[in-house]
Amino acid sequence: MLDLLPRLRRFAIGLTGNAPDGDDLCQVTIERALNNRDKWAAGSRLDSWMYRIMRNAWIDETRAVSRRGQTFVAEEAGLSVGGDGGQEAAVELSNVGRALGKLPEDQREAVLLVMVEGYAYKEAAEIVGCPVGTLNSRLVRGRDALLALLEDAA
């Protein structure tokens, strides 16, 4: 499980859009996995099982947040705080992160699992619990939308 932490954290940050929330999601995932370790089928892929736990925890959290109401200040208000540091790579990575955050959740998951984490379509489909064809269409739509958003940011 320790070897999976960097990959889980990267996926969590991709889902949540920031490192602190991603770390919280990672912690919830590890806690749930440890509490339910008797439900993991020995011989099956631990990473796929952990990603599914993380995805379910994220869904639970987003539902809870939507029920808690709206924030007082729009999230975009924080984007103009601070300086850019003059590093083009950091700016481009920030643009990719923001563009990923604008994708619908199902497309963002497909892009993160296949394009970032390197999962095969079949494995990614198992993680999100959908047919491979559905994952493929989500990935195509997500990739196209991501490219369009990045072109607009340039």
pLDDT per residue over 115-126, tens digit each? 888 888 999 999
| Domain stops at, among 39, 70, 101 | 70
Residue 79 domain-assigned (yes or no) = no
User: What's the pLDDT at 101?
Assistant: 85
154 and 96 together in one domain: yes
Q: Is residue 52 part of a domain?
A: yes
Average pLDDT over every residue of 101-129:
90
> Do 4 and 58 share a domain, yes or no?
yes
Q: What is residue 80's predicted lDDT score, i.e. its pLDDT?
A: 54
CATH number at residue 50: 1.10.1740
Q: Which domain holds residue 109?
A: 88-154
Q: What is the mean pLDDT of residues 99-117?
A: 89
Same domain, 62 and 96: no
> 43-65 burial by CB neighbour count: b if 16+ within 10 A, else e?
eeeebebbbebbbebbeebeeee
C-alpha 128/C-alpha 17 separation (Å) is 18
110: domain CATH number is 1.10.10.10
43-81 pLDDT, tens per residue? Answer: 889 999 999 999 999 988 887 776 665 445 555 655 555
This prediction's pTM: 0.54
Size of the chain in residues: 154
Kindly state whether residues 63 and 104 are assigned to the same domain: no
Last residue of a domain, one of 21, 41, 70: 70
* Same domain (yes/no): 108, 45: no
The answer to whether residues 63 and 27 belong to one domain is: yes
